[in-house]
Structure 1
């Protein structure tokens, strides 16, 4: 299966083809999943001298890693204080610090290996109401207390047009330590890095069965991999591969449209500082300019399990509510994909209790570009025997299994999100 017909696939710098797994292979670690989680775990392990085989069911970066909004934003999880009873206040503080470290891991990987992915620094949280702006002030104070070294700047209502060409917002907070990039180029660049480090990469190699034990045996249609350790990094696409993990992550549809290239004047009006931009609503809007001045506008997370029949027809009215000046602008690309969401919105990083040589990372709740890279670092350290507090902190947080099985999970979460939307309007 090839990449979805997205702007990223159409504009990617290269799409190397990796072989399909044939025959039996032996490795220290078998990684399942060729997205950011799997690729970065493989890189971290290979840098530590381990022999790694990575299996991808489709193409490298085929899932959310190659389709997402391209926004590289600080932080992991939502409402981290909720975890204080489990990991303590110092544990919560460490999670917040790791949320800052995660962006630095991406920065360092791109710089160290010279990955060309249109990395551009600058992001703005947009306030939909005055309470959001007041919250940004608290966020800025906390970030400074955590030692955040990048520029943070509050945008007052009268200055909002300096960051976004819309009347929908009452302020914002600019963060120059976050930004945006071309995610598929990053994923493909990281695949090339992994291969250079000795990782054996296989595409079109869906896993059909896993034999667990002191040594795992991972089967595909045409071969198998025997390894001491297994990493499951499938996120929303884990399906029934491991019921214990698939029950804890809900696949939810997210959608993006890309306009035709805008004139320099219109692009400057839409996003004067070329920032990544995101609002604060439950049904979030996020958008940015591409390197060739298209507006990439995303959001509309679907928990129903059903995709819109016409993504552009569904998303374009949402875009025009924000940017009425784009009426008549052609939509050149429309695409969607699945993101993985857990019940508590904290990334799930750990190991199976009954299979201690099986590690996993999933459920990034739509903020995976940085969190996946952090997961790769933590998994690499843990598997290589360099146990740090970070892996143990994530592993200590319990994650519930969604009730109702595969068919009822989506409707139940859809009802829960509707409640949050109604609460937002109150």
Structure 2
């Protein structure tokens, strides 16, 4: 079974609030027949669109192939949070790769935020970009960790955009009985993810990239020139970029052994009107400190967009509303009477160490994936890094590729049940407050 076609109608965005409020973007024609290019990109999310844009701006002939619509996958369904640094804490990275490499990774994470902001400004992408992401904690231990982490970022990385929140300040920002404190990062931000993806697609096409939707890649023949085969055409290219993230499937076993697709779910309430202040008193996004993270923000039309719950395997649960409603009511029991107008699922990809996996599966093939919930900035940046590497400027790509990431236990065959067992254990610890 192919994740690309397990939960969604071919060629259609999922029935999300994002799709309902996105721009009307005419479909790009499917690939038919044979063509040649300097670079063939597989996947039309943030990674692929960013790579296509930067390569086309550099004068290369680029063909991008997307099985559904641009922004169809995690890029058009996620929580819209543009986070600072990397997905993994800097303290963890310092232990993992050393202080110097960790600083490089922090600076790359900051460059990723700056890149997103510059692309939005340069290409006039209307995606409701706003500043501010809070991290909230449900235990005193986690509050202490977040406060200590803010101090660490200030002391070692000179990062001064964080407000420390005690219990009273946290409740004043986010009136939830579940949270005891946290931090507010005003250097981070949030946006409408599908509108951002569509804006990148328009920019890439305007720069000369050839974008093809409804073009499912099912085989790649390697060689000095690679051949990328779809159902109705093929591309012969000097370079190939794999940018399919959780939907890569069996196209590259080396990547699929280290990058695990998982499903996450979001609901959008009815417009809350004056009751929006029962959720947030400032227009910021929130992610909490639970292992299975809850994340939320207010939409530009006054709805609560709440993400919570995960599943493993190919199929989404039958009742997505019920899956996401449970953690939503734990955080906001006062919203028990509020209806959920939209509910949707999405497939993202994680790695064992929650850092992106960048690699060269072949001398003329690059891959970036496994953003582990931190993809709004990191994926866009990874696309630019791969574009630069193809042009002979590989320092940034190599810095991320040097982070050691083990394969999942059992490889592709056993990783899903093993991970599901581990995640269930951490979810139980969350519920018990351990």
TM-score range, shorter chain: over 0.9
1:414 lines up with 2:423 in the alignment: no
The aligned residue for residue 374 of structure 1 is: 381
For the residue of structure 2 that corresponds to 1:361, the secondary structure is: strand
The aligned residue for residue 52 of structure 2 is: 42
The aligned residue for residue 123 of structure 1 is: 133
1:300-357 Cα deviation digits (max 9, x unpaired): 12235553210102211221121122122111100001110111111011212xx111
The aligned residue for residue 187 of structure 1 is: 197
- 2:91 and 2:154 map into 1 onto residues whose CA distance is 18
1:225 lines up with 2:235 in the alignment: yes
The aligned residue for residue 6 of structure 2 is: none
Report how far residue 165 of structure 1 moved: 1.8
Moved more, 242-251 or 287-296: 242-251
The aligned residue for residue 272 of structure 1 is: 281
Return closer, same or farther for 1:21/1:44 CA change in 2, 3 Å cut-off: same
- 1:175 and 1:25 map into 2 onto residues whose CA distance is 47
The aligned residue for residue 330 of structure 2 is: 321
- 2:96 and 2:179 map into 1 onto residues whose CA distance is 37
Structure 1 vs Structure 2 CA RMSD: 1.8
The aligned residue for residue 4 of structure 2 is: none
1:105 lines up with 2:115 in the alignment: yes
Return closer, same or farther for 1:88/1:323 CA change in 2, 3 Å cut-off: closer
- 2:96 and 2:141 map into 1 onto residues whose CA distance is 29
1:252 aligned to which of 257, 262, 284: 262
1:204 aligned to which of 209, 214, 238: 214
Return closer, same or farther for 1:189/1:88 CA change in 2, 3 Å cut-off: same
1:9 lines up with 2:19 in the alignment: yes
- Aligned positions of 1:166-185 closer than 5 A: 166-185=176-195
1:69-127 Cα deviation digits (max 9, x unpaired): 11111122325555657743201111122122211111111011110001111111112
Return closer, same or farther for 1:260/1:423 CA change in 2, 3 Å cut-off: closer
For the residue of structure 1 that corresponds to 2:49, the secondary structure is: helix
The aligned residue for residue 403 of structure 2 is: 397
Contact 1:81–1:89 at 8 Å: present in 2 too?
no
Contact 1:305–1:410 at 8 Å: present in 2 too?
no
1:2-21 Cα deviation digits (max 9, x unpaired): 11111111111222210000
1:359 lines up with 2:369 in the alignment: no
Return closer, same or farther for 1:71/1:86 CA change in 2, 3 Å cut-off: closer
Return closer, same or farther for 1:398/1:153 CA change in 2, 3 Å cut-off: closer
1:112-169 Cα deviation digits (max 9, x unpaired): 1110001111111112122222222332233334555663211111222221121111
Q: TM-score, normalised by structure 1?
A: 0.94
The aligned residue for residue 312 of structure 2 is: 303
Contact 2:292–2:426 at 8 Å: present in 1 too?
no
For the residue of structure 1 that corresponds to 2:36, the secondary structure is: strand
Specify every segment of 5 or more residues in structure 2 that has no aligned partner in the other structure, as ranges: 1-9
1:333 aligned to which of 342, 347, 362: 342
Return closer, same or farther for 1:235/1:114 CA change in 2, 3 Å cut-off: same
Contact 1:163–1:275 at 8 Å: present in 2 too?
no
Count the aligned residue pairs.
422
Report how far residue 188 of structure 1 moved: 0.4
1:211-249 Cα deviation digits (max 9, x unpaired): 101111111111111111100000100111222212221
- 2:92 and 2:159 map into 1 onto residues whose CA distance is 26
Report how far residue 179 of structure 1 moved: 1.6
Contact 1:125–1:279 at 8 Å: present in 2 too?
yes
For the residue of structure 2 that corresponds to 1:27, the secondary structure is: strand
Q: TM-score, normalised by structure 2?
A: 0.93
Return closer, same or farther for 1:87/1:314 CA change in 2, 3 Å cut-off: closer
For the residue of structure 1 that corresponds to 2:400, the secondary structure is: helix
Contact 2:308–2:327 at 8 Å: present in 1 too?
no
- 2:145 and 2:91 map into 1 onto residues whose CA distance is 15
For the residue of structure 2 that corresponds to 1:240, the secondary structure is: helix
Report how far residue 387 of structure 1 moved: 2.4
Contact 2:308–2:328 at 8 Å: present in 1 too?
no
